[in-house]
């Protein structure tokens, strides 16, 4: 019986994949299957993985080598091959922290989604649980997925696929959108809206490796389109439930600072301006429709008074630097 499927997407991570696999393999038992999807790597990732798993006979490990299709495609391939009652994801340059499976294994079959915190790191030999703590969880313990419980999650608007464990049935007819960035925004909220019971753990269980080439460090004009696609995809999946629509309005509003950051960081304002204006129009419509827009004042400031937001940001940065 496979209780948990771990889907590891790997693309050109020859420098980090051993750290990733070490962190997982040393913890899991025969109730876990590890599905490694090599997404057409052009470095030595495939050889390193093949050599690594060749001498392991007491673990359930599946290696899938495929042509490059992107992170979403790699995850989707892993989903189709998975057999676990629960599913979790890990990127090939990230790691499980030492207590991951010990903690998670005790929480399976209690909830539909298990969420937890993380830490940011550069080197596995230098893990800092204090200064680099990534707070992703608001509540603690087991709760029904009612409006009050989900509110802070949707306000926080942090949808990292790797910071959760999911009941596999939640992925019925749901896959990550391919050939788009911000695929987590387009997928994870749908799972929350379909879940019934949530387990929250205020403890870091995953190490997220800092990557200077991540999408947040290298914004593109197309990111605005991809974010708007993600927001619309989730919106279209929601039934006529008022509380679900209000929750998603809050998450949509919370996306405004991200869209503003992409616009400000863009080197091609001419091509980006119209797309950015269209995105703000959509967010404004959501604000008007939502009776709960008061829950994210920062996002409202970005949408309606962007110049004021920029001024406040500069003043805040000035005082922080002086201190």
User: For residue range 89-139, what is the model confidence (pLDDT) as tens digits?
Assistant: 999 999 999 999 999 999 999 999 999 999 999 888 888 888 899 999 988
Q: Which of 24, 64, 69, 21 is nearest to 46 (CA)?
A: 64
The whole-angstrom separation of Cα 15 and Cα 280 is 40
Per-residue confidence band for 56, with pLDDT thresholds at 50, 70 and 90: very high
| C-beta neighbour count of 236 within 10 angstroms | 8
Residue 276 has a pLDDT of 67
Close Cβ partners of 12 (under 8 Å, ≥ 6 residues apart): 41, 42, 43, 45
Higher pLDDT, 22 or 318: 22
Residue range 4-209 forms a domain whose CATH class is alpha beta
| C-beta neighbour count of 68 within 10 angstroms | 13
DSSP element (H, E) containing 8: strand 4-10
Q: How many helices (H) and strands (E) does the chain have?
A: 12, 10
Chain CA centroid to CA 322, Å: 34
Residue 211 has a pLDDT of 73
87 has a pLDDT exceeding 80: yes
Q: Which of 96-105, 196-205, 235-244 has the lowest mean pLDDT?
A: 235-244
Return contacts of 125-132, CB within 8 angstroms, 24+ apart.
127/97, 127/207, 129/204
Give one word for 174, left, alpha or beta, with left for phi > 0 and alpha for psi -120 to 50. beta
Q: In whole numbers, what is the pLDDT of the chain averaged over residues?
A: 85
Chain CA centroid to CA 172, Å: 19
Chain CA centroid to CA 221, Å: 21
Classified as helix, coil or strand, 40 is: coil
Q: Which of 176-190, 233-247, 258-272 has the lowest mean pLDDT?
A: 258-272
pLDDT tens figures, 147-173: 888 988 988 889 999 999 999 999 999
CB-based contact 75:9 (threshold 8 Å): yes
Which tokens hold the place of 305?
Answer: 């008074």
Query: How much of the chain, in percent, has pLDDT values that exceed 90?
Result: 57
pLDDT tens figures, 283-321: 666 655 554 444 455 555 555 555 555 565 556 555 555
Q: What's the whole-number mean pLDDT along residues 265-281? A: 66
Residue 301 has a pLDDT of 55
Q: How much is the pTM?
A: 0.85
Q: What's the whole-number mean pLDDT along residues 233-259? A: 78
The whole-angstrom separation of Cα 120 and Cα 81 is 30
CB-based contact 184:216 (threshold 8 Å): no
Residue 103 has a pLDDT of 97
CB-based contact 115:136 (threshold 8 Å): yes
The whole-angstrom separation of Cα 54 and Cα 221 is 43
Q: Residues spanned by CATH 3.90.550.10 within the chain?
A: 4-209
CB-based contact 114:188 (threshold 8 Å): no
Residue 126 has a pLDDT of 81
Per-residue confidence band for 269, with pLDDT thresholds at 50, 70 and 90: low
Largest CA distance in the chain: 61
């Amino acid at each position: 019986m496979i209780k948990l499927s771990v889907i590891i997407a790997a693309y050109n991570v020859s420098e980090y994949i051993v750290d990733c696999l070490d962190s997982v393999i040393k913890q899991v038992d025969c109730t876990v299957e590890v599905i490694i999807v090599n997404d057409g790597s052009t470095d030595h990732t495939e050889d390193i993985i093949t050599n690594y798993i060749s001498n392991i006979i007491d673990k359930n490990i599946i290696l899938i080598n495929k042509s490059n299709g992107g992170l979403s495609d790699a995850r989707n391939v892993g989903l189709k091959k998975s057999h676990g009652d629960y599913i979790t994801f890990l990127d090939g340059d990230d790691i499980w922290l030492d207590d991951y499976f010990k903690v998670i294994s005790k929480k399976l079959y209690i909830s539909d989604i298990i969420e937890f915190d993380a830490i940011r790191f550069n080197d596995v030999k230098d893990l800092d649980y204090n200064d680099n703590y990534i707070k992703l969880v608001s509540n603690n313990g087991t709760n029904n997925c009612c409006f009050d419980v989900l509110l802070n999650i949707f306000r926080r608007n942090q949808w990292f696929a790797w910071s959760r464990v999911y009941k596999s049935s939640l992925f019925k007819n749901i896959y990550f959108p391919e050939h788009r960035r911000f695929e987590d925004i387009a997928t994870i909220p749908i799972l929350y809206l379909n879940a019934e019971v949530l387990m929250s753990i205020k403890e870091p269980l995953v190490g997220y490796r800092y990557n200077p080439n991540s999408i947040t460090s290298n914004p593109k004009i197309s990111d605005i389109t991809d974010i708007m696609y993600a927001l619309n995809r989730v919106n279209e999946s929601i039934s006529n439930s008022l509380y679900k629509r209000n929750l998603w309005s809050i998450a949509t509003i919370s996306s405004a600072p991200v869209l503003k950051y992409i616009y400000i960081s863009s080197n091609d304002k001419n091509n980006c301006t119209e797309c950015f204006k269209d995105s703000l129009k959509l967010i404004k419509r959501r604000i008007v429709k939502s009776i709960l827009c008061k829950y994210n004042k920062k996002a409202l400031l970005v949408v309606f008074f962007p110049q004021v937001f920029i001024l406040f940001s500069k003043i805040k940065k000035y005082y922080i630097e002086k201190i």
